[in-house]
Amino acid sequence: MADEPFDATPFLPQRRTLDALRDAAAGCRGCDLWEPATQTVFGEGPKDATFVFVGEVPGDREDREGRPFVGPAGRELDGALVAAGIDRAETYVTNAVKHFRFEERGKRRIHQKPDAKQIKACRPWLLAELDLLRPEALVILGATAAKSLLGSSFKLMAEHGRPLDSDLAPVVVATIHPSSILRGRDGESRQAQRDILVEDLRVAAQTLAKP
Ligand code: URA
Ligand code: SF4
C-alpha cells in the first residue's frame, strides 16, 4: 500500500485567501486526526490583525463549536489579553494543529498533545495563514506551537517573554500556553502561571509600541 500523504500540502487551495484556506481545511485528511474529530478548527480573526496568537490544538469545546479558544483555555487567554492591554478585536487566533486529538475515557474525551508527525503535517496550514496575515506581532503559546514555528531545539522555559529574532514577524514572542494555568495544582500556582502569561504578552505589546 502506498504511504499516506501525512501532510496537509495536497489539500491547500490554489487561491490563497483566508476564506479559501478555511474552506479547504474543512476537508483536510493530511494526517490521522481528522477522522475521530468533529471538524477542522481553523483560525479566526480579522485579516489585518496586528497580533496573531498560535496555540496547540483545539480542545473538546473547540472541536464541538468549530472555533479556536472558546473553552476554558480561551477564557484564560481573554483575561490575559485584557490584563496586557491587547484588544481582542485586533487579534487573530489559531492553532499549530487544527483537529482535536483526544483519548476516550468512558464518556469523556481527554485532550492529548499532538505528536511530532501531526505537528509537521498540519504546519502548511499555519504557514499559509501567517503568509496571508503578516502580523506585526506573533505570539507563540506553548511548546507545541514553538516546535512547529521555531524548531524542536527551542527552549520555551529559557526563552519565553523576550523578543526573538525571527523572519516570521517583526515582533515574535513565545510564552506559556494558557492551559498550563488550568493545570496548576492550587490557586497560587495558577496565579503564578497567569502572571507569566500576562507579563510576556506585555513584552510583545511594548516591543511593538517602540518606535
Ligand atoms: N488550546 C489550544 O491550544 N487551542 C484551542 O483552541 C483551545 C485550547
Ligand atoms: Fe489536516 Fe491538520 Fe487536521 Fe491533520 S490535524 S487532518 S493535517 S487539518
Work out the percent of the chain whose per-residue pLDDT is above 90: 95
In short, whether 123's Cβ falls inside 6 Å of ligand 2 is no
Boundaries of every domain in the chain: 9-209
Which of the four pLDDT bands, split at 50, 70 and 90, describes residue 139? very high
Ligand 1 atom, smallest distance to 71 CA? 7
Which residues neighbour 74 within 8 Å (Cβ) at sequence distance 6 or greater? 61, 62, 68, 178
Mean pLDDT of the 57-79 span: 97
Residue 72 above 60 pLDDT? Answer: yes
Residue 14 confidence (pLDDT) above 80: yes
Q: Residue 210 pLDDT more than 90?
A: no
Ligand nearest to the CA of 57: 1
* pLDDT for 3 beyond 80: no
Whose Cα sits closest to atom 2 in ligand 2?
122
| Dist CA 128 CA 125 (whole Å) | 5
Query: pTM for the full model?
Result: 0.96
Task: Burial-class residue 78 by CB neighbours within 10 Å (0-12, 13-18, 19+).
Answer: middle
**Atom of ligand 2 lying closest to residue 25 CA:** 8
Taking the centre of ligand 2 as the mean of its atom positions, its distance from the CA of residue 162, in whole angstroms, is 30
CATH code: domain 9-209 is 3.40.470.10
Decide: 139 in ligand 2 pocket, CB within 6 A: no
User: What does the pLDDT read at residue 6?
Assistant: 82
Q: Is pLDDT of 1 > 70?
A: no
> How many angstroms separate the CA atoms of 101 and 14, rounded?
28
Ligand 2 centre to CA of 144 (Å) is 15
